[in-house]
Structure 1
Amino acid sequence: MKAIIIGCGIAGPAMALALQKIGVQAVIYEAREAADDTQGAFLGISPNGLNILREYVALEEVMADSTPGKIRFFNARNKAIGVIDNAEQASRYGSETIQVKRGLLNGSLRRAAERAGIAIEFGKRLVAIGQREGTVTVSFADGSTAEGDLLIGCDGIHSAVRRAVFPNAPEPQYTGLLSTGGFTRPDFAVPADSIRMTFGERGFFGYAVSTHGEVWWFNNIAQKTAPQRHELNQSELADLKKRLVALHRNDPEPIVPIIERAHSIEIYPIYDIPFLDQWHQGGVCLIGDAAHATAPHIGQGASLALEDTLVLAQCIRDCADLQAAFARFQSLRQARVQAIIRQARKVGDTKTVPNRFQQFFRDLLLPFFVKLEARKMDWVYGYRVDWHKKLI
């Protein structure tokens, strides 16, 4: 079989590598004109994702520039109000949560695919999908086409594949939060033992120090209406810094200096997707954010996409035909991802700025809440794909 993969982010190269394990040839088509591993901020990968990732790349390469996964929570008066300690994750699950730069992860997976002889074509913006007699045909904006036995949509939350195959599917929903991701080279002392997350007076702020001594930080801003999607350009950087400094001017040090000295910032609205009834049609199947995007508040987006790749390859390997494989894939994955999406929405709701009465109870109850949630994460972090087990 020949597979068409749309999207060369995290899921696309991983999916191609998983298909190669079962003898399926894949070609990856990417809308961007060229690879750019400097774009994007950073993301969390938890043990369930890392245990899949090591099937495709050496984890040492991805972890070369990373931050710890341990989290400490503070209120706007810099009072410690909770901690999530990952000390036992490595022994329990085989890996420990980390944060990595999105570009470093993307680049590692893309290079692994290239080393494996998987073709990647850039400048291929999908405009149409046709299906007939077991063949999928795609048309691109440059006038070219491609044919395959199946197509896998790995093109993210604003998926062109999803819009083409399911034109009546619900659109991604804005969650009421904007997020910024920034990088700062500090000339002042910054605690480096954990991710420090602060429920600020007017916004949520988190930061950590990477293995290269750089501060990686993010901010969540409650805003009821969704702004236009765009990437921050350098001409807007100074204005955004002023806005963020004003937002956090009364919050604990070193939040304001971290913002002021940032050399790179991106801002984007946070979306997730209403649950889709169907992830596949004919020879087309959606995975990762294209099928089940989740808000980033519990760091599971990349991990869920990586899980999808190995499970889908296993289903194609073991099921009688593609229709059975896609149906089995959705049945194995849907309940899990929906439960995690609900959890991410719940955590995101805590980042909106409450009134003082609500703040009091948040600070009082958060230590108990995070301990309770940590005990409940076994089913998330302990997830494994038994590749050698036959599904049929």
Structure 2
Amino acid sequence: MKAIIIGCGIAGPAMALALQKVGVQAVIYEAREAADDAQGAFLGISPNGLNILKEYVALDEVLTDYTPGRIRFFNARNKAIGVIDNAGQLSRYGSETVQVKRGLLNGALRRAAQEAGIPVEFGKRLLSIGQREGTVTVSFADGSIAEGDLLIGCDGIHSAVRRAVFPNAPEPEYTGLLSTGGFTRLDDLTLPADAIRMTFGERGFFGYAVSTSGEIWWFNNIAQATAPRRHELDQSELAYLKGRLTALHKNDPEPIASIIERAHSIEIYPIYDIPFLDQWHQDRVCLIGDAAHATAPHIGQGASLALEDTLVLAQCIRDCAGLQAAFARFQSLRQARVQAIIRQARKVGDTKTVPNRFQQFFRDLLLPFFVRLEARKMDWVYGYRVDWHRKLI
């Protein structure tokens, strides 16, 4: 069989490598004109995602620069109010939560796919999808056409595949938060590098960590009731973003202001997730990752869930009698898990909006108990494994 894969982010190359395990040859089509591994900020990958990633690339190729996964929480007066410790993850799960640059992860997976003989074609913006018995056909904006036996939509939260196949599906929902991701160097300051330090500031949420190369990776969440227009924030200038964020955090503890003022790169984007889709597949087309079940980034599971999808879908294609059965089995195996994680991410995101003084008091009082409870509940997330050698049928 030949597979068409739309999207060359994280899920696309991983999906192509997974399909190769079951004898399905794939071609990856990407709307961008060229690869840009410097684009994007950073993301968390937890043990469940790292254990899948090991199937495709050597972790040393990805973890050339990273930050730890331990999290320490502070209030606006710089009082420590909670900690999520990942001690013991390595022995318990086989991997330990880290943050990595998106470009490093994307680049490593793309190169692994290309080295495995999987073609990647850039400048292929999808216009339409046609299906007839035994074949799926894709038309691109450059006038070219691709044909295959199946198509996997790996093109993210604003998926063109989803819109083409499910035109009446719910649109991504704005969660009420904007997020920024930035990079800074403060060589004249020594900052703790043992954890991500997250502060519930007076008017916004701010987190930062020091990477293994000494760079500060940071993010901010801003409560904003109305969603920005699509691409409205894309051209925001660095000086404008610094001014907006400095004003937001002017009363918060150092080194927050210094990190913002001396940043050499900042991105800003709205946070969306997707209302639960009833169907992830139609005939010979199936959605995975953010195209099917985008989650807000508050518990760092988006990339890990997409990586899980790739191996499970390949297993279903290997073991089920036909694509329809494979896609249906895939959704039945994955849907309850991803929906539970999406709900949990929404819950955590709600705590990042700015409460009143009364609510702040109880947040600071109860957060240590809350994070300990949530950490105990994460075992089912982090401990997830795909038994590749087990037959589904």
The TM-score, its normalising length taken from structure 2, stands at: 0.99
Following superposition, the deviation at residue 60 of structure 1 comes to: 1.1
Once the two structures are superposed, residues 81-108 of structure 1 have per-residue CA deviations (whole angstroms, 9 ceiling, x without a partner) of 0000001100100000000000000000
Q: Go from structure 1 to structure 2 and tell me whether the alpha carbon gap of 1:226 and 1:235 turns closer, same or farther (over 3 Å shift).
A: closer
Q: Percent identity?
A: 90
Matched residue, 1:10: 10
Q: Go from structure 1 to structure 2 and tell me whether the alpha carbon gap of 1:319 and 1:230 turns closer, same or farther (over 3 Å shift).
A: same
Matched residue, 1:269: 270
Once the two structures are superposed, residues 283-325 of structure 1 have per-residue CA deviations (whole angstroms, 9 ceiling, x without a partner) of 0000000000000000000000000000000000000000000
1:304 aligns with 2:305: yes
Partners of 1:148 and 1:388 lie apart in 2 by 27
2:110 partner letter: R
Following superposition, the deviation at residue 234 of structure 1 comes to: 7.2
Partners of 2:362 and 2:132 lie apart in 1 by 59
Partners of 2:146 and 2:16 lie apart in 1 by 16
User: Helix, strand or coil: the match of 2:31?
Assistant: coil
Q: Go from structure 1 to structure 2 and tell me whether the alpha carbon gap of 1:262 and 1:232 turns closer, same or farther (over 3 Å shift).
A: farther
Q: Go from structure 1 to structure 2 and tell me whether the alpha carbon gap of 1:36 and 1:46 turns closer, same or farther (over 3 Å shift).
A: same
Following superposition, the deviation at residue 235 of structure 1 comes to: 6.5
User: Helix, strand or coil: the match of 1:177?
Assistant: strand
Matched residue, 1:367: 368
Q: Go from structure 1 to structure 2 and tell me whether the alpha carbon gap of 1:231 and 1:117 turns closer, same or farther (over 3 Å shift).
A: farther
Matched residue, 1:91: 91
| C-alpha contact (below 8 Å) 2:234/2:268 kept by paired residues | no
User: Helix, strand or coil: the match of 1:146?
Assistant: strand
Partners of 1:92 and 1:232 lie apart in 2 by 41
Partners of 1:201 and 1:353 lie apart in 2 by 7
Q: Go from structure 1 to structure 2 and tell me whether the alpha carbon gap of 1:386 and 1:373 turns closer, same or farther (over 3 Å shift).
A: same
Matched residue, 1:204: 205
Partners of 1:41 and 1:92 lie apart in 2 by 29
| Aligned residues: CA RMSD | 0.9
| C-alpha contact (below 8 Å) 2:69/2:96 kept by paired residues | yes
Q: Go from structure 1 to structure 2 and tell me whether the alpha carbon gap of 1:153 and 1:351 turns closer, same or farther (over 3 Å shift).
A: same
Structure 1, unpaired ranges of 5+: none
Matched residue, 1:19: 19
| C-alpha contact (below 8 Å) 1:232/1:265 kept by paired residues | no
Q: Go from structure 1 to structure 2 and tell me whether the alpha carbon gap of 1:308 and 1:191 turns closer, same or farther (over 3 Å shift).
A: same
Partners of 2:106 and 2:28 lie apart in 1 by 13
Following superposition, the deviation at residue 353 of structure 1 comes to: 0.1
Moved over 4 A (4+): 231-235
| C-alpha contact (below 8 Å) 2:169/2:277 kept by paired residues | yes
2:107 partner letter: G
Matches within 5 A, 1:53-68: 53-68=53-68
| C-alpha contact (below 8 Å) 2:153/2:291 kept by paired residues | yes
Partners of 1:294 and 1:59 lie apart in 2 by 24
Partners of 1:369 and 1:236 lie apart in 2 by 38
Matched residue, 2:191: 190
Q: Would you say how many aligned residue pairs link Structure 1 and Structure 2?
A: 392
User: Helix, strand or coil: the match of 1:245?
Assistant: helix
1:237 partner letter: L
Following superposition, the deviation at residue 228 of structure 1 comes to: 2.1
Following superposition, the deviation at residue 191 of structure 1 comes to: 1.6
User: Helix, strand or coil: the match of 1:346?
Assistant: helix
Following superposition, the deviation at residue 2 of structure 1 comes to: 0.2
Matched residue, 1:333: 334
Matched residue, 2:110: 110
Following superposition, the deviation at residue 233 of structure 1 comes to: 6.2
Structure 2, unpaired ranges of 5+: none
| C-alpha contact (below 8 Å) 2:184/2:215 kept by paired residues | yes
| C-alpha contact (below 8 Å) 2:68/2:97 kept by paired residues | yes
1:276 partner letter: L
Partners of 2:164 and 2:88 lie apart in 1 by 44
Once the two structures are superposed, residues 205-264 of structure 1 have per-residue CA deviations (whole angstroms, 9 ceiling, x without a partner) of 000000100000000000000112338667711011001000001101100000000000
Partners of 1:34 and 1:60 lie apart in 2 by 25
Matched residue, 2:322: 321
Partners of 1:109 and 1:229 lie apart in 2 by 28
The TM-score, its normalising length taken from structure 1, stands at: 0.99
2:209 partner letter: A
Between stretches 226-235 and 31-40, larger displacement belongs to: 226-235
| C-alpha contact (below 8 Å) 1:231/1:267 kept by paired residues | no
User: Helix, strand or coil: the match of 2:237?
Assistant: helix
Partners of 2:105 and 2:22 lie apart in 1 by 24
User: Helix, strand or coil: the match of 1:208?
Assistant: strand
Matched residue, 1:382: 383
Partners of 1:185 and 1:233 lie apart in 2 by 23
Partners of 1:237 and 1:309 lie apart in 2 by 36
Partners of 2:147 and 2:185 lie apart in 1 by 47
Matches within 5 A, 1:221-300: 221-230=222-231, 236-300=237-301
